[in-house]
Amino acid sequence: EDFAEIEKLALAKGLCVFASGNYSITAALMTRFALMAAKHVADVEVIDYASAKKPDTPSGTGRELAERLSAIRKPSNAKPVNELSGARETRGATIGSVQVHSVRMPGYLLSCEAVFGAPDERLVIRHDAGTSAAPYVSGTLLAARRVRETKGLRRGLDQLLD
């Protein structure tokens, strides 16, 4: 909801504001590949993993991926969460039309995956990163270079890839 206001202000000032849940090039590729897959396989869930010390759930990567996947099309076969019996919380959070699960435990680094399901087959598109800042440098520099090329709000590093 804040993004609409940011877009309005950026356009009024003739500026570009860029926002991304993750500035890693490989995370941007994961997003791009997942969005491609969602056009052909409707049923998808997002799982993000991090150490027990990471306070946000889901991660910015997981949230943005779920929002973007929801814009492609709604899952076709999944039983709606409100129709399930038992502990519904175990199905994760619904972001848009996508179920999102956040695992926070010792021993995990940073990972995010889109899990697609179709009759008798499954596709997993996953991004893994370590704990250093190295994976985010090239994406941040790409965003800094490209932000001057447009006006308004741009979301998602994958949109800046050629």
Domain with residue 53: its CATH number is: 3.30.360.10
The gap from C-alpha 1 to its chain's centroid, in whole angstroms, comes to 17
Tell me whether residue 5 is in a domain: no
Give the pLDDT mean for 37-56.
Answer: 94
Q: Each residue of 84-124: pLDDT tens digit?
A: 888 888 889 999 999 999 999 999 889 999 999 999 999 99
CB 109 within 8 A of CB 32: no
Report how many domains make up the chain: 1
Residue 77 has pLDDT above 70, yes or no: no
H-type alpha helices, 80-155: 134-146
Tell me whether residue 143 is in a domain: no
**CA atoms 62, 68, 74, 76: torsion sign:** negative
Tell me whether residue 125 is in a domain: yes
Query: Is 91 strand, coil or helix?
Result: helix
Tell me whether residue 107 is in a domain: yes
Cα 25–72–69 angle (5° rounding)?
45
Tell me whether residue 99 is in a domain: yes
Q: For a pLDDT cut of 70, what percent of the chain falls above it?
A: 98
Give the residue numbers spanning the domain of 79.
23-134
Tell me whether residue 38 is in a domain: yes
Residues in the chain, total = 162
